């Protein structure tokens, strides 16, 4: 389906050299948007931007750097404005997952997770919103939360806190930015097969697919298609919401006998 309101719009997608972010860039390019593709890995960013531009005969520019750094975020937004003249869509997708026992978790690990997952998203949306307000153009934001930001999972307290906070950020900003015609929603993926998750667990699909009523894990395209919908005109009356894309994983309640 071709959504309206995507063609000729401009977007910044962070953490997009591979995985879910890359699929979001592909979905946007396919519908005729122009994209700044960010990744902390310069080689990956360059290759991914080239690959996707050629595939869709589109306009995708790499801008490599740490999406958790406020200084870098300013440079990236300046680059987007000098390249495209405007910014319509912001997708702060870059995020890190650090596992660890709560009692052992170090301030260094805590700060790494918070800096990218939360500070990166907050200040990218803040700076882009200022530009959208200046241009009176409005805009749309999609944040990447997680099922881990909705329910408790072992050894993921810090990550879970950041992913839950993003949902609250959307609720607050839907309220604060609506007068500027800036709309903000959240996608909460379940277990999704990416280069990273496959590396962490070679039989990721076999192991994690069992959790879902539909028997399979998510694909990056499942998440990207939901983002595309939320960015489109068709979703313009949806604001401040979180959509779970998890194959029904978290719909399942448990009876005592399920615990055996």
Binding site for ligand NAD (CB under 6 A): 14-15, 17-21, 38-41, 44, 66-68, 93-97, 116, 144, 146, 189, 191-192, 194, 196-197
* Residue of 53, 159, 204, 244 with catalytic role: 159
Query: Nearest CA to 125 among 173, 165, 84?
Result: 173
Residue number, 56 or 72, with CB nearest to ligand NAD:
72
130 is catalytic: no
144, two tokens? 């990447």
- The answer to whether the beta carbons of residues 223 and 189 sit under 8 Å apart is yes
163 is catalytic: yes
Distances (CA, A) of 241 to 67, 129, 162: 24, 18, 17
Residue number, 157 or 236, with CB nearest to ligand NAD:
157
Residue number, 144 or 173, with CB nearest to ligand NAD:
144
Smallest distance from ligand NAD to CB 40, Å: 4
Smallest distance from ligand NAD to CB 137, Å: 25
CA-CA distance, 26 to 34, in Å (whole number)?
A: 10
- The answer to whether the beta carbons of residues 204 and 197 sit under 8 Å apart is yes
CA-CA distance, 150 to 161, in Å (whole number)?
A: 9
- DSSP-assigned letter for residue 119: I
* Residue of 53, 145, 232, 244 with catalytic role: 145
Smallest distance from ligand NAD to CB 71, Å: 13
Between helix 220-231 and helix 19-30 the angle, nearest 10°, is 50
Smallest distance from ligand NAD to CB 63, Å: 10
- The answer to whether the beta carbons of residues 61 and 81 sit under 8 Å apart is no
Residue number, 72 or 84, with CB nearest to ligand NAD:
72
Question: Which sequence positions are flagged as catalytic?
Answer: 145, 159, 163
């Amino acid at each position: 389906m071709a959504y309206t309101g995507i063609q000729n719009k401009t977007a910044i997608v962070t953490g997009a050299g591979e995985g879910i972010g890359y699929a979001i860039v592909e979905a946007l390019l396919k519908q005729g948007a122009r994209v700044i593709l960010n990744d902390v890995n310069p080689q990956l960013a360059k290759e991914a931007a080239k690959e996707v531009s050629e595939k869709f005969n589109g306009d995708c520019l790499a801008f490599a750097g740490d999406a958790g750094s406020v200084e870098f975020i300013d440079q990236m937004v300046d680059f987007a404005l000098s390249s495209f003249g405007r910014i319509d869509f912001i997708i702060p997708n870059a995020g890190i997952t650090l596992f660890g026992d709560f009692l052992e978790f170090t301030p260094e690990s805590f700060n790494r997770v918070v800096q990218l997952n939360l500070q990166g998203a907050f200040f990218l949306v803040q700076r882009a919103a200022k530009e959208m307000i200046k241009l009176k153009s409005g805009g749309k934001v999609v944040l990447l939360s997680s099922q881990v930001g909705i329910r408790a999972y072992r050894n993921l307290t810090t990550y879970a806190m950041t992913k839950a906070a993003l949902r609250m950020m959307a609720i607050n900003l839907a309220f604060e930015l609506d007068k500027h015609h800036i709309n903000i929603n959240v996608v909460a993926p379940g277990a999704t097969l990416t280069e990273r998750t496959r590396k962490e667990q070679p039989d990721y699909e076999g192991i994690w697919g069992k959790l879902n009523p539909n028997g399979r894990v998510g694909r990056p395209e499942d998440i990207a298609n939901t983002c595309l919908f939320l960015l489109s005109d068709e979703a313009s009356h949806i604001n401040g919401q979180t959509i779970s894309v998890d194959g029904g994983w978290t719909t399942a309640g448990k009876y005592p006998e399920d615990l055996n």
